[in-house]
Amino acid sequence: MGGAVTPHPETQAVLRANQALYDAFESGDIDLMSALWLDGPEAGSVACIHPGWSPLHGRDVVLRSWSMIMANTTYIQFVLTDLEARVTDDVAVVTCGENMLTDLPVDPDAVPGEAIAGLAGGRAVATNVFRRTADGWRLWLHHASPVLTRDQPEGMGEGNA
């Protein structure tokens, strides 16, 4: 259920590009991350909304934010759920649940990487918009936001579409 989306021949390529965003975040590799985002004449129209943040505009600012976030993340792992890809010839829109496992803040006096207090789970939801380029699908916009399930009325949850 949930969107009788007409399959497009590029759907699998789009889903791979979507997965690559989370792989890059998990690996903390800014070069990998940079390669995923739209570049060239339209680099200024790139946008990114991290959970709870205002929008960031422009490829350089967006990549700087990822550098900061990844530098401040010692461990993160994603399991993506409810992947839905909508694909036209030039633009694709993916929605997914971002189920995260991260380390809890370490003791500030501890040796880095040695004193993980434990692991914490979290859930967000993302809209990822891609542009098709000669080099493949590139991220144009990422919008992630926290899910507060308590606010969602009965019968309006996932899987009810």
Q: Out of 35, 97, 100, 133, name the contact with a second copy by CB under 8 A.
A: 97
The residues with which 120 forms a beta bridge, in sequence order, are 102
Residue closer to a second copy, measured from CB, 36 or 85? 85
> Does residue 94 contact residue 84 with C-beta atoms inside 8 Å?
yes
The residues with which 136 forms a beta bridge, in sequence order, are 133
Determine if 55 is a binding residue for a second copy (CB under 8 A).
yes
Q: What share of the chain is helix, strand, coil (3-state, %, to 5)?
A: 25, 35, 40
Residue closer to a second copy, measured from CB, 82 or 115? 82
Q: Backbone dihedral region of 155: left (phi > 0), alpha (psi from -120 to 50 degrees) or beta?
A: left
Residue closer to a second copy, measured from CB, 22 or 140? 140
> Does residue 78 contact residue 25 with C-beta atoms inside 8 Å?
yes
Determine if 31 is a binding residue for a second copy (CB under 8 A).
no
Determine if 40 is a binding residue for a second copy (CB under 8 A).
no
Least Å from the CB of residue 111 to a second copy: 25
Determine if 105 is a binding residue for a second copy (CB under 8 A).
no
Count of all residues that appear for the chain in the document: 161
CA distance 151 to 161: 17
For residue 104, what are its two tokens?
Answer: 């809890």
Determine if 122 is a binding residue for a second copy (CB under 8 A).
no
Determine if 141 is a binding residue for a second copy (CB under 8 A).
yes
Q: Which residues make up the interface to a second copy (CB under 8 A)?
A: 1-6, 41-42, 44-47, 49, 51-58, 61, 64-65, 68, 82, 84, 86, 88-91, 93, 95, 97, 125, 127, 129, 131, 140-141, 143, 145-149, 151-153, 156-158, 160-161
